Structure 1
Amino acid sequence: MKHLVQAAAAFAIVAAAGSTAFAGDYPAPTPLAEGAQAPISAIHKKEGKLRIAYMPPATEFNYYIAIGEGIKSVAAGKDLEVFMLAPQSGADINGQMGMIQDVLTQDVDAIIFGTHDEGAAAPLLKQAVDKGVAVVMINSDIPNFPTPIHGVVGYAQRKGTHKIADWAKAKFGDAPVKVGVIEGQPGYHSTERVGGFLDGIKDASNFEVVASIDGKWNVEGGNTAAMDLLQAHPETQLIFAANDYMAIGASYAAKALGRRDLVILGNDGDTSGLEEIAAGNFTATVNTVPFLMGQQAMEATLDALDHKFPGGWVEIPTEIVDGTNVISVLQHPEKLYPKPSKAY
């Protein structure tokens, strides 16, 4: 049980007694790929208090805490316990696998998880499914996780970053544009997000990608990647980063190099990213509303435990946020976590 003791962050909710049945308020799910759907009917149906583990890939990202807050908001007032367990770093794959192993030795009814290594997590999650535990993936749109699971809740990643590519094409028009890309740590999420952006600009002959560098999903990695990219390619006019943390890191590099002209695009809708856009420090992002994602993941999980969820992928809507609409988003702190640093 050492990982339970060493966890970088954890929370617990013991809710008041009440009905555990929940008619989830989420869009009709899209079926997963053939062979990827675990049977809902095989989930162990339990009477009494439920225990649900929320297991994101890291606690270093407020994005996953925002998802957790959405989960907590749905859990409130129900007869269940929810706890969060995750390593501090998203690069600590072994740490996350150890935590999943620990949870499998406990009496849990469901696991809501995200991971940066689908291959490593799959054998452990197969064990959970085989035990009758409900297994739901968050922050993804993967149609064919390496082992069958019960559901996926997240946004269409390629569609979202294609939207921000369309935004960039509208901004630059026919002018020639040199583009730098900051990827995430290799895996499904980085492939899909970068792929969506590249799909979006491939029909624009005036856009040229000069470099694509791994930014390791975090601010420090984005700063280092952008610094290297801008020094090697000072002609770069636009940077697309696969998440807001790397975009924030890129904004630090741009400031250090005096590049006030640089257009920086992100992806997530993290509160810190939204406030950086409001401050003019980077340009635009794909808002994937993580708080709402957490709510809908919890609703789908509760329905799965009650054999009411049909299985499949629940799509979370996205929107492009830039300087024209960021204030209106920040004026709804009840939908954000952490809360904005000030009233807007």
Structure 2
Amino acid sequence: MSVLKPKIMMLIGCLMTSSAMATEVEPYNKANAQQLKQSIYERTATATSAIERYQLAKSEAWLSYADHEYSEGGFTSAGKEAYIQANQLLEPSNVNLVTQIISPSQVMRRDLWWQIEYLKQRGALDVEPQALANAEVMLVWAAAEYCELGWRHAREHFISAERELQKVIYALPEEKPFLNWSETETPELSALNGKGCHGVNPDLWPLKPKTPVEPEVIDADVANVVVENVVHFAVDRAVLNTEGKRVLEQIANILAEYPDMNITLKGYTDIRASVAYNIALSQRRIDSVRDYLLEKGVNSSRITAEAKGKLEPQDDQKIEMAHAKSRRVVVYFNDAETNSITVQPQWRDLQIER
């Protein structure tokens, strides 16, 4: 995992106001919106840096916001400002890691905004720029809905923002890096927002979490081999995704290096459906993992398996995340040579229900 370079980190603290970013923007209509969308897609296809992909993803998210407002039958000031943001982010000179809080909105859910800035420091732009951008715009959208229509209309958008952030969190090598948030270390909402729903106080925005301490680097010559030993599956499916296959490729390489080592595959499901159904489903997941390892040259005689079904479900504050983490196959290394192997879980391949 890489962290943001000092030059990029400076951008996080540099808020460019809408007036400072002013560019001529064509009025919103379906033709102009479609042309803008096409420009975003073309630029995304050739983007070479994480920051550029992040900027383009945020532009697309703002455009989706504007499209929604237009489709509701009245193009509000929120829709107009969202459309301006979508256009301005395509300008190469407008590289900026700070999300604008449009004037009909405000800052809500300080914990989520804090997580966003913290995740940027942890390399989130490199692993999930689109989900990160979506979460930021969705939080602005949610607060604008709250200001105009109340909590009932904002709730769905806040949930969507949380889901996007979960994608970012589980794409990073470390689990749940947001747990260090402290309410006492961030400005009060009253200070951030001023009076009413009229944007944000630029002197206090964005939130500035403390830079995390980098973990101690262990000398590779004396460190054990670390291997990820868990792959996950979608609801009612036994198909490996790309990230899951990468995990199994590493395991196949380890087994090639240790030809006397054997493994046990234990398959699991989430807690829903009957015991018999889940035993069969967990066996199909084992078969999928076994077949992929055989393709990579692992001899079948080195593999044993146990279909566990819905036993040993995983925990999480969000039930959909608990289900996603439970739908898994765990690889156990059996032989004495495992003294030189350290296993750890991974969450990059989680497939969350929608």
Into which bin does the TM-score normalised by the smaller protein fall? under 0.3
**Higher relative strand content:** 1
State the TM-score, normalized to the length of structure 1: 0.25
State the TM-score, normalized to the length of structure 2: 0.24
The higher radius of gyration belongs to 2
Name the structure, 1 or 2, with higher relative contact order (CA <8 Å, separation 6+): 1
